[in-house]
Amino acid sequence: MSAYGSIAAPEPKTTLAVRTWDIKNPDCLLWTFPVVGSDAPSELLHHVHHLLNTEIQDGKTYPQETPLKYEEFVAYYFSSVTIIGLLVSVENNPPETLEEARCGQSWEVSLGGTYYIKPNYPGRSSHVKRSLINENAGFLVPEQHRGRGVGAALAKSFCEYAPQLGYKSSVFNLVYANNTASLRLWDSLGFSRVGLIPQAGRLRSGPEGGEEYVDAVVIYKSFV
């Protein structure tokens, strides 16, 4: 939930469609499925819950320090629109549902990544959207699927879905400066670095549990 409490999202301009995106593996496509609220299979919700808490405990990407209880997680991550990205073989028939897309595989195998889209600010500024994700720019990508171009595909999908939901711009509040790959990705998609917050993150820095203070970059993109 936002620091401003519960915030109503803007009126969508259209119904979000299931889309496909190329990744580095030519044998697979990333299919993105928009999910409204927590209208997703229970097993998938629990899997994403586990992934998020793993990232929180790793202490390098999210500002939270303690794992979220399941109810807290659902309210935080599935309170508006969540995009589920599934890896699907190019040989499979085009799926219409999440279950068809995973084709009997476990969520651990089929889930390439996910993110959510919801307002950053209330009322008179609610047209400015926010999407908090792993990689310090907005995504939650399981470790076994990183380096495959999934994050880039999700970022491109975000730039299409957010305007369709009625958002006029996007602000990512905390993109930690040591995440250079993430910053380069958003740079390539036309985002601007509009602010720097010195020592905004107290992040874990090594396997021994050490910590360091890291600057955070505020990045922005207009959709109009």
| pLDDT band with cut points at 50, 70 and 90 for residue 39 | confident
- Give the pLDDT mean for 89-98: 94
CA distance 156 to 136: 16
Mean pLDDT computed over 197-201? 95
Which of the two residues, 94 and 208, has the higher pLDDT score? Answer: 94
Q: How far apart are CA 138 and CA 118, in angstroms?
A: 12
Give the integer Cα–Cα distance in Å for 211 and 82. 31
pLDDT digits (tens, 9 = 90+) for 52-70: 999 999 888 888 899 999 9
Whole-structure pTM value: 0.88
Mean pLDDT in residue range 25-49: 93
Chain mean position to CA 101? 19
pLDDT of residue 201 exceeding 60: yes
Residue 9's pLDDT band (cuts 50, 70, 90) = low
| pLDDT value at residue 134 | 28
Q: Is the pLDDT of residue 38 over 50?
A: yes
In this model, does residue 127 exceed pLDDT 60?
no
Give CA–CA dist 178/175, Å, rounded. 9
Chain mean pLDDT for the chain: 87
pLDDT band with cut points at 50, 70 and 90 for residue 14: confident
**Which run of H or E residues covers position 81?**
strand 81-89
**What's the average model confidence in pLDDT over 9-21?**
81
CATH of domain 19-168: 3.40.630.30
Looking at residue 130, its pLDDT comes to 47
Query: What is d(CA 32, CA 158) in angstroms, rounded to the nearest whole number?
Result: 10
User: Domain residues of the chain, as ranges?
Assistant: 19-168
The per-residue pLDDT for 8 is 58
DSSP type of residue 123: G
Cα separations in angstroms, 134 against 6, 8, 154: 22, 23, 12
Confidence of residue 89 (pLDDT cuts 50, 70, 90): very high
Angle between helices 70-77 and 42-58 (to 10 degrees): 90
CA 13 to chain centroid, in Å, comes to 21
85-110: average pLDDT: 95
The per-residue pLDDT for range 100-114, each reduced to its tens digit, is: 999 999 999 999 999
Nearest Cα to Cα of residue 188 among 159, 214, 215? 159
Q: What is the DSSP string of 96-158?
A: SSHHHHHTT--HHHHEEEEEEEEESS-GGGTTEEE---BTTTTBB--GGGTTSSHHHHHHHHH
Asked if 185 and 212 count as a contact pair (C-beta separation under 8 A), the reply is: no
The pLDDT of 185-206, averaged and rounded, is: 94
Q: Using one digit for the tens of pLDDT, what is the confidence trace for 130-187? A: 443 323 335 799 999 999 999 999 999 999 999 999 888 888 888 999 989 889 999 9
